[in-house]
Amino acid sequence: MGGDRGPQAGRNTGVTLIYLVQHGEKQRLPGDPGLTPKGRQQATDTGQWLRGLGVRALYSSPLLRARETAGCIASVTGLAVQLDDRLRERLNWDGSEPFDVFLALWARTTRERGLVPPKGDSSWQAGARMRAFLTDLPSAPGPAAAVTHGGITSDLLRDLLGDDALPGYLLDAGIPPCAVTAVDDLKAVMIASTAHLV
């Protein structure tokens, strides 16, 4: 479901098409890490691709890795970054427990979608939060982009497609840095494509 161009908007009846951008490669640190130099380049390349698609609005999770990705995209597209808390990740490693303990909790909340972790949202809650963001988007004459995170994007896709239709590697390996998922009228039309990265 990838491609080097992506779906085109082609209508002026409001935002129905949105490109969900996974943040760029992040530093391997707890808390709220920023991007690596490679992650910034990935974000800039993604911005150039989005500019070619005529993206008219840019949203971002408030977490630093997403804000930095959106900043790189904004520097290419000229769009203002609009922060939206609903785009944040469902669970974030803050360093208060060993990383392997965090990964075990992540895996458990992925398997048990209703499980609410002590610091974060369940998979069901995160998917609903992302869906609410999509349905609340204001009307605009063209597609939008939103920089977000792999877990919540997968949670949304599980809601829209069902687990059987979701590529299994996404739940196991995660969504690659700056991969783009396109959703049109709450239908996934492209999933985790990295074909735009040079």
CB-based burial, 34-62: b 16+ in 10 Å, e otherwise = bbbeebbbbbbbbbebbeebebebbbbbe
Does position 68 have pLDDT exceeding 90, yes or no?
A: yes
Q: pLDDT tens digits, residue range 109-135?
A: 999 999 999 999 999 999 999 999 999
Query: Which amino acid type is present at position 124?
Result: W
pLDDT at position 6? 39
Task: List the domains of the chain with CATH numbers.
Answer: 17-193 (3.40.50.1240)
0.85 exceeded by pTM: yes
pLDDT bucket at 169, cuts 50 / 70 / 90:
confident
Q: Which of 11, 15, 2, 13 lies closest to 185 in space, CA to CA?
A: 15
Q: Are 5 and 57 in contact, with CB atoms under 8 Å apart?
A: no
